[in-house]
Structure 1
Amino acid sequence: MTDYAPLVLQTPAEHPFAEFVRILGKGKRGARNMTREEARQAMGMVIDGKVEDAQLGAFLMLLRHKEESAEELAGFTEAVRERLNAPQLAVDIDWPTYAGKKRHLPWYLLAAKCLSQNGVKVLMHGGGAHTAGRLYSEQLLELLGIPLCRGWQAVDDALAQHNLAFIPLGDWAPQLQRMIDLRNTLGLRSPIHSLARILNPLGARCGLQSIFHPGYQAVHRDASTLLGDHAIVIKGDGGEVEINPDTISHLYGTTDGQAWDEEWPALSERRHVKPATLDTQQLVAIWKGEAEDSYPQLALISTIALALRGLGMPRVEAFERAEAYWANRNRSI
């Protein structure tokens, strides 16, 4: 007889992150939202590099398909904020700019510039040119004289000198930038595009957020409420923080843990015809007063008013102040 050694099978240990993929992906009946604490733990592992690439892709796309809950967004935000090591700098408005424009020029950049001339400290941040056919803030900073900062010390200096600073996401949260850059690998935008908008890394007095996806603005507002933040969420033009003057604008606000809503009427009786091409020199011409155009003027004034509303000013007063700011701007760049 021949002796055969018994076959010993060893089950490999499950990866700790597999639990979170399973929560999201366990079929129609088994899948569920993560709790706020589970979301905080999961995003913490992602930021700390404790997740395999295959797990990360699955996690992001399952979230994209399901759509994040307010509790998940709040948990993700807490995990990122815990790891930022950001300095304490006085900022009035946190202005995320991640969508890019394709129908109209980014007039919000001039709105931020105008606010900064009037003592409002604005921090802008963005995630680069991740989608073809769009015009991104980073491409226009030099043209408009907006300081590009590659670290928090540069932000501090720019805010002190100009009340305005732009810092790329990759310079303060490179792990998030890496996930945004997966857009062309995965074929879809991931929830990180939404997460970046809610982070408010320096704890500004008010965070402005633009969420284009219908019905999702309230989820972002609810997440900010859970975090105790002061924020206003809108469906801005092209996904950027910019009021479209041709349509009714709904403001989803939260202040001191209390949600509120406000509706702003359209400023134009008829829709403006969108430009055939986006000529960036038009931004300079409008700023310097060398050209006049109804659409950008209305978009600019209402977007300035939005920021002032975020700082606690009533709507009517905010519009009056916005018009005065724009009329009296320093037109040099």
Structure 2
Amino acid sequence: MAISHYIKEIGRGARGARPLDRAQAADLFGQVLDGSVTDLEIGAFCLAMRIKGETSAELAGFLDATAERSQRFSTAGEQPIVVLPSYNGARRMPVLTPLLALLVARAGLPVLVHGSPSEDARIGAREVFERLGIQALTQVREIAAGEVVFAPTEIICPGLKRLLDVRRVVGLRNPAHSVVKLMNPCAGPALLVASYTHPAYAESMAETFALLGASALLSRGLEGEVVADPRRTAELTGFRRGAAVQLQAQAPGTAAEVPGLPADIDADSTAAYTRAVLDGRLPLPEAIARQLEHLLLLARSMGSDDHPILPAATETA
């Protein structure tokens, strides 16, 4: 098979391109993940989608194809696995996704962090986890309650890793970078923690969660990471089986400094800061504390139809 007929539809430019339906998108993305198309076709697909942008139906189709080709994590208990994608890494601020993951695990939930470096110059969660004594997995396995694991993308879906690496050649993000922030590589209940960098992505991600009936926490993260920016109070939106509710409104302003936050973004400095916060030697930034509170409340609400996902004091009309 080939994908040239799909490229003809999506490659007509920002105004002339036509969106694919969910089934078409799944077929197209499946062929790309399977490696059954040429490098030229993959490059054309990546560039066409970069110019056109992804619709929620297309994202849902891409995720359908990914799910069919992915290894799945499981847990022995009934609690959901909290899924934290980590692909952007540290740019100007330390990567604090490992801190959030360890805080969630401390509350007794199984935690899956998955990721792959997109740029060699950035420090990723994997390096910080290694400094904290958590080595990357080499195969998919069961996750225990209260445990954090880090899974490289290639053990979940090798084809997705290959597509992510196209960025190193082309220099631009492609649909794989959206998929990894939305995918659910779990066999049972899961709570996806997702982030966006631009408001337009927030809309398409929210629509995709609704289409998939997903349970998720969505916010603007720290330089593309899912953990809250410790300097700001961001808007938080919760999804339970696709139904959305605002958990926290955005507050204006940016803190000039965060107590104890290292100026250096290297893995050793970040790991030392993470340990100090976990041990209580440094305060947990308020923005991350509030994100953690909402995340845990949302996770605990997933098994009940009548359990509120908002405290009464923060419900919105």
* Matching residue within 99, 107, 123 for 1:110: 99
1:236 partnered with 2:244: no
How big is the shift at 1:130? 2.1
1:224 partnered with 2:209: yes
Q: TM-score, normalised by structure 2?
A: 0.84
Rounded Cα–Cα distance in structure 1 between residues aligned with 2:124 and 2:27: 32
2:295 is aligned to: 307
Q: How does 1:135-284 map to 2 (within 5 A)?
A: 135-153=123-141, 156=142, 159-160=143-144, 163-202=147-186, 203-266=188-251, 270-272=255-257, 276-279=263-266, 280-284=268-272
Does the aligned pair in 2 maintain the 1:130–1:183 contact within 8 Å?
Answer: yes
Paired letter, 2:12 = K
Paired letter, 2:59 = L
How big is the shift at 1:286? 4.8
1:325 is aligned to: none
* SS across alignment from 1:134: coil
How big is the shift at 1:23? 0.8
**How many residues matched?**
299
Paired letter, 1:277 = D
Q: How does 1:75-90 map to 2 (within 5 A)?
A: 75-86=61-72, 88-89=74-75
How big is the shift at 1:175? 0.9
1:120 is aligned to: 109
Rounded Cα–Cα distance in structure 2 between residues aligned with 1:112 and 1:302: 14
* Matching residue within 86, 93, 98 for 2:82: 93
* Matching residue within 37, 40, 49 for 1:63: 49
1:298 is aligned to: 286
Q: TM-score, normalised by structure 1?
A: 0.80
The CA RMSD over aligned residues, in Å, is: 2.8
Does the aligned pair in 1 maintain the 2:105–2:146 contact within 8 Å?
Answer: yes
Rounded Cα–Cα distance in structure 2 between residues aligned with 1:54 and 1:205: 36
Q: Which has the larger radius of gyration?
A: 1
Paired letter, 2:124 = Y
How big is the shift at 1:185? 0.7
Does the aligned pair in 1 maintain the 2:84–2:114 contact within 8 Å?
Answer: yes
Rounded Cα–Cα distance in structure 2 between residues aligned with 1:87 and 1:111: 20
Q: Deviations over 1:288-321 (max 9, x none)?
A: 4688556x5334423422421431375669x9xx
How big is the shift at 1:71? 0.5
Rounded Cα–Cα distance in structure 1 between residues aligned with 2:292 and 2:26: 34
Paired letter, 2:86 = T
How big is the shift at 1:172? 1.6
Q: How does 1:31-46 map to 2 (within 5 A)?
A: 31-46=17-32
Does the aligned pair in 2 maintain the 1:232–1:251 contact within 8 Å?
Answer: yes
How big is the shift at 1:55? 0.6
Unaligned runs of 5+ in 1: 1-14, 320-333
Rounded Cα–Cα distance in structure 2 between residues aligned with 1:126 and 1:119: 22
Paired letter, 1:247 = R
Does the aligned pair in 2 maintain the 1:305–1:315 contact within 8 Å?
Answer: no
Q: Is 186-195 or 79-88 further displaced after alignment? A: 79-88
1:72 partnered with 2:55: no
Rounded Cα–Cα distance in structure 1 between residues aligned with 2:288 and 2:272: 13
* Structure-2 change in CA distance of 1:269 and 1:40 (3 Å): closer
Paired letter, 1:298 = E
Rounded Cα–Cα distance in structure 1 between residues aligned with 2:75 and 2:48: 36
Q: Is 46-55 or 285-294 further displaced after alignment? A: 285-294
Rounded Cα–Cα distance in structure 1 between residues aligned with 2:10 and 2:195: 26
**Aligned structure 1 segments of 4 or more residues deviating by more than 6 angstroms:** none
* SS across alignment from 1:58: helix
* Structure-2 change in CA distance of 1:113 and 1:24 (3 Å): same
How big is the shift at 1:269? 7.0
Identity, in percent, stands at 29
